[in-house]
Structures are given as C-alpha cells and as structure tokens.
Structure 1
Amino acid sequence: MKSVVRVLQIAFTYIGTIVGAGFATGQEILQFFTQYGRWATITILVSTILFIWLGTKTMLLANTIKATSYESLNKHLFGEQAGKWISLFMLVVLIGVNSTMLAGAGSVFMEHLNFHYQTGLIITLVGSYFLLNRGIESILQMNSIVVPMMLALSVLIISNTIHMPNADRFIHLTTDSSLTATWAAPFMYTAFNLSMAQAVLVPIGSHTESRRVIRLGGIIGGIGIGFMLMAAHFAMSPLMPGIMQFEIPMGNIASMLGIVIQIVYVILIYLEIFTTFVADIYGVTLQLQPRISLSPKLIRIALLFICFFLSQFGFSSLLSILYPLFGLISMVWIVMLVRVNNSSVKTIK
C-alpha cells in the first residue's frame, strides 16, 4: 500500500508539474496542438509517448547518479563545464516560465473571479511564500488532491462535448499551418515542458528508493498528461477559431457546464498554476543556494519579486513568445537525454 501511494504521488506530481499555466488554461494546447487541426490527435499521441518515455528516464537517471539538483543531471548529460552553462540557461528559462505562470494566475482572477489582475498576483505571491517554507512534501500533498479532481473534470468535459452537434470536428478541423510546423510542435512542446520539469523530477527520482515505483509513477503520469491534452483538444476543437480570443479558453468551456462547475474548474486551474509555480520556485532556490550567500528565504523573496515584475507584460503575449522559443532551445536537452547510455538507467533489483 505504501508503494501504491508513492506511485500515485509521483504520477500526480508529474502531471501537476506539467499542467501549469499554459496547459491548465488551454493556451498551450491551442498554441501547440489544436491550431494544427486534425493532425493534433496524432501529435498529442506522439507527445504522450515522449512524456512516458523521457519523463520516466529523467527520474531513473537522477536516481542512478543520486543527483542533488537538476545541475547534477545536466553535468552528467553535457559534461562539467557545459552542464553549468546549461543549468544557468535553465535557471533563466524557469524564471521566465514562472513569470508566465504568475501572469496566468492574475488572468484567472481577472477573467473569472472578477478581481483586479494585480490582486491575483499578490495573493499568489503571498501564498507561494508561505507554502515554500513548508518544503516539497506540501507540494506533493497538494498535487495528490488537485490532480485527481482535474482528471475527473476532464472526463466531465469530454462527456459534455460528446453531445455537441459538431463534437467530431477534431477529426475534420483544417489548418493553414505547414506540416513542418505541425510535426515540430509535439517535440518542441515535450522538450520544453520536460526540461523545465526536471527541477521537480530530479529530486523526486533521487529521493525515491524503488526504481519500479519511479517507473510506474512515470508511466501513469505520462498517460495522465496525454489524457488531459486530448480532453482539452477535443473540447476546444468544436469552438475553433473563436475560442482563441480568450485568455483562459478552458475556463470558458467550463462555463457551459453551469456556474458551479465553472467556479470549481477555475479554482482548480488556479491551483494547478499555483502548485507548479511553487514547485519551480523551490527548484530554482535549491539551484541558487550554492551560488549565492543568502538565506533560502531571501532568495525566494527575490525570485518572487522578479516574477512579479515580469508578469506585468501579460499572459498570452508572454506565452506565445517564450514557449516556442524555449521549446526550440530545449530540444538540445532532450537530444542529450535520448542519447545517454541506457545502461545508466537499467533496472536495479
């Protein structure tokens, strides 16, 4: 029973780390999948396979080398000097992504809860600071509650979409995008998200004794990510292209299920953004501690302030610029992960 609980904790934390601001709101899925029409169904399947394979491999590799941080993993993949520079780049990327997530939290408060944008930012920053002081276990516990609820609501949204007159539009949806852009999207999307998720996946892998538990958690987590990707794409396809005008498209879809479901879904979107934001800040803090002679609390406060400043540029504008660019650069990290000797991640009985 203890192993089952740990498997589910790993799976839910993996899902919760990937399901950040862009994913939970639907913006990421629009940018990387739905806008490519009927091809999106196949590219989501490709992305799911990559999440299962490479997410699990990341945790197993971290377990093998007993990585203390994602810099340890990068040094193993790229070498001592190159690994340091890659980790520094990832640090900058994580700060940019966290700023995007914080902006997403502000958008949730503004669009669906009728609060001021800045109010959403401040509430998120204050809550993050207090949760960070409780450590990574509190993040695992939150994901164990929030992620199952998100999966249940995904099932509800699918069941509602099935009854729509054009529910099969995801099969026939056309696109003006090139095949090159269409097929590059799942690889860029997976590369970006996994390279960012290593801040959480590495400590999970290195602190979990059983490699079988890691493997099962990674497989279940990857399948869960794919299921939620497909559910959102299926729900948004009948509403294309009008759905692209919304900052929080999935929140708009939830509104079709009634006011209660809408409020619950919007709250869950916010909590997914919040838990991913906190987890990433936690990972960046661990990375900065050996480099900066400041207490962890001061480092967290500085990071939260930087994210607050960058979040003033808005959500969808940041998402459309930062995510594709970071996804492209993260492809290098994925290539190195794929190339690493498989004997490094063999099962130890």
Structure 2
Amino acid sequence: MSEDFKNIFKIASVYTGTILGAGFASGQEITQFFVVYGPQSIYGLAVSSILFALIGMVVLNKIYKRKIRSYDQYVTPLVGKRAERFIEMLVCLFMLSSFCVMVAGSGAILYEKFGVAKEFGIAVMVISCLIVFLFDAKGVVAINGILTPIMLTGIVFLGGYILIFKDTDVISLANAAHKAAYNWCTSSLVYVSYNTLTIIVIMTALYPLLTNRKVAVLGGMTGGMALGCIAFILWGVLLMFYSDILPYEIPFLHIVMKKGKVVELIYIFILYCAMFTTAVSSGFGFLNRAVHWIKINKTLCIFLFCGLSVPLAQIGFSNMVKNIYSVFGYLGMFMVVLILFDGIREFASNRKG
C-alpha cells in the first residue's frame, strides 16, 4: 500500500468519523433535517453530499497549498482579525456542544437499551475520550483510522439488510413532530453548515498527512462521498419506518430491535463507536483552541474540560440535536459561502500556475 493511499485513507477516516456521530448514526439528524420532508428530501441529501465533498476538497487543498497548521491561519485571511475572534468563539462553543451531544448520546443508548443509569454511560465515554486526548493528534487519527471503516461497513450491512428484508411497504409522514428548518433545501444547508464549523478545526490539524495536492483533494472528496453513501442508506430505512420512530431518541435502534438480537447488538456497537469518534474529534478541536486562548498546560486543560462536560451532557440528546444544531447551522452558513468561494479561487490559481 502506497504512502499516498494510506494518507488519503487516514484523512477520509477522520473527516467521516468527525461527522458520523451519535446524531448521524442514531438517525436523529437524518430524521430531523431530511426525513420529515418526505421523499422529496432525497434532493436535500444529494445537495449535502456534494457540498461535503466540495468543502473537504477546497479546505484541504488550501491547507496544503498555504501550509496552514492552525484554525486562525485559515480563517483570518477570509474574514479579518476581528471577525475571526467572534467566529472562533462560536466554533469553540459549537465543539463543546457537539462533544456534550455525543456524551449525552452514550448515556441515552445504555439507558434505553440496558436500563443502565445515564450517568454511568456518560462517565465511560468521558474517560475514554480523556485517554485519547492525552495522545494528541496521533490519538485522534489512530482512533478514526480503526473505527471509521468498521462503522461504514456495519451501517451499509445493517441498512442493506433492513431494506432488503423489510416487513412493511407503508411510508407514513403525517404528524411530523418537529421541523429543523422551513424546507428540505434550507434544511440541507443548515445540516452542512453546522458540521463545517468543526471540520475546519480538525482539518487544519491534518497538515502533516498532506504530502501532496492529490492526497489533499482525494482525501476530502473520499470522506464527503462516504458520508453521502451512508446518509442515503439511513434515509431510506428511516423514511420507511417514520411513523414508528417518532417517540424515540435513537430511531434506528428501535428499527433494528425488530430484526433480532444479533443485529441489534451489532448496531449498538456501531452507534457507540460513532459517538466516540465524533466526541474525540470535537473535544480535540475545542481543547486545541482553548489551550491557545488561555495559555495553560494542555494536560490540565484536558482533565478540566472532561470534568466540566459531564453536567452539561445532562440536557438530553434529542433536545440538543433539535435546538443547538439548528442554531449553529444558520450561523455557519456564512462560513460555508466564504469557504466555497475562496476554495474556487484557490483552484483557479492552481490551474493558472
């Protein structure tokens, strides 16, 4: 296996693992942002998939070309120093929220499935993340490189199994409980936007893997395409069972519970891995910026961050997905527009060069 292929694989794994968290793999995000709009929401999924691939390509291309190693080096030229400070605060707040969403999800799944106290699941997730944080960027890349392929394979298998051996042909979209945005187009943009806030921070830490421009472009494109494929599979399953999953914080778990114990346990493992990878990526991004701001020992910051995140995770998983994610999504649209226009300009300069 060539070095370039290994780096493309690592980059795509980190990209996919960052987004493929509890909200995604559980079905909450796909339900809230797409399924509630019925069959036509497939167009929103297509838009999101294309945007994820484009954003991955243009961001990593610029990081490689400009030798960018930190978030502020990427954002400041786009928006200026004053606006960069505000956006950085926004991104840090989102990454903290995202970390807490993943931690809350770990407590929710153990409680709903095994009746274990949510506090126990939260504590296990936080301690696991703390251990990875102590290994810095190498730990984040290693965990994503191991778990992301397992998650992708597992979700493709489970989704395909449910769609092939479905026991219902009824699609019910009545009485939707919540609208994350006003229509499928706006909703897809919100979905991409709030994820982009975290992606930039994580990608700037991947500069050592960008050995050439091809690795940067293909790594981003592959990660975005993988996300799109998984999203389409989950969307098909959730749309088919929509009327049955409304009351549940983890919709996909409710579906697989009907398919036998083995299938259910496989999914629980995949979901927990998804929570773990996104918690690690979001927490790592927050810690990098926090240490840069407050200038304290990173190990001390890691312990303080993990300890303080525990009470914040008590808010509840589905409440965070519905409220926090949508708010940050609208705020992040500004960044998506800037990134895409700037990326097109960078690609144009490459062609001229």
Identity among equivalent pairs (%): 24
Match 1:344 to one of 323, 326, 346 = 346
Aligned residue number for residue 91 of structure 1: 92
Mapped contact 2:33–2:191 kept (Cα < 8 A): yes
Structure 1: unaligned runs, 5 residues or longer: none
1:179-198 correspondence to structure 2 within 5 Å:
180-198=182-200
Deviation larger for 260-269 or 319-328: 260-269
The equivalences for 1:184-263 within 5 A come to: 184-205=186-207, 207-263=209-265
Task: Note closer, same or farther for the CA distance 1:106–1:61 as it changes in structure 2 (3 Å cut).
Answer: same
Q: Compare 146-155 and 110-119 and name the one that shifted more.
A: 146-155
Q: Retained in 1: the 8 A contact 2:59–2:200? A: yes
Alignment of 1:58-207 (within 5 A): 58-156=59-157, 157-167=159-169, 169=171, 180-205=182-207, 207=209
1:313 aligns to what?
315
- Offset at 1:204? 1.5
- Cα offset, 1:15, TM superposition: 0.7
CA distance in 1, matches of 2:330, 2:241: 29
Letter of the 1:86 counterpart: I
Q: Confirm whether residue 55 of structure 1 aligns to residue 56 of structure 2.
A: yes
TM superposition shift of 1:341: 5.8
Q: Which moved more, 1:286-295 or 1:326-335?
A: 286-295
Distance 2:267 2:180 in 1: 34
CA offset digits 1:241-285 (Å, max 9, x no partner): 221211111222222332122112111211111121112211111
| 8 A contact 1:96–1:307 mirrored in 2 | no
In structure 2, the residue matched to 1:273 is 275
Conservation of the 8 A alpha-carbon contact between 1:55 and 1:194: no
Shift of 1:344: 2.7
Partners of 1:124 and 1:263 lie apart in 2 by: 18
d(CA) in 2 for partners of 1:88, 1:200: 16
Structure 2, unpaired ranges of 5+: none
Amino acid at match of 1:315: F
The one-letter code of the counterpart of 1:309 is P
Aligned partner of residue 50 in structure 1, secondary structure:
helix
1:21 CA drift (Å): 1.9
Mapped contact 2:106–2:122 kept (Cα < 8 A)? yes
Aligned to 2:32: 31
Distance 2:343 2:216 in 1: 19
What residue is the counterpart of 1:325 in the other structure?
327
1:166 and 1:251 map into 2 onto residues whose CA distance is 17
Q: Secondary structure at the match of 1:290?
A: helix
What SS class does the counterpart of residue 246 from structure 2 fall into?
A: helix
What amino acid sits opposite 2:191 in the alignment?
A: Y
Residue aligned with 2:240, SS: helix
Letter in 1 for 2:117: H
Q: Given the superposition, is the C-alpha separation of residues 174 and 49 from structure 1 closer, same or farther in structure 2, using an over 3 Å criterion?
A: farther
Equivalent-residue separation in structure 2 for 1:197 and 1:250 (angstroms): 25
What is the CA-CA distance between 1:320 and the residue it aligns to? 0.8
1:168 Cα deviation from its structure 2 partner: 7.9
Counterpart of 1:183, as a letter, is C
Q: Does structure 2 retain, via aligned residues, the 8 Å contact 1:74–1:84?
A: no
Which residue does 1:44 correspond to in 2?
A: 45
Q: CA RMSD in A?
A: 2.2
Shift of residue 125, structure 1, vs aligned partner? 1.1
> Following TM superposition, by how much is the alpha carbon of 1:212 offset from its aligned partner in structure 2, in angstroms?
0.3
SS of residue matched to 1:48: helix
Per-residue CA shift, 1:323-345, capped at 9, x if unaligned?
11110110011111122163434
Asked if structure 2 preserves the Cα contact closer than 8 Å seen for 1:12 and 1:144, the reply is yes
Aligned residues: 347
Alignment CA distance shift 1:167-1:75 (3 Å) = farther
**TM-score, normalising length from structure 1?**
0.92
> Is 2:56–2:220's contact at 8 Å kept on the other side of the alignment?
yes
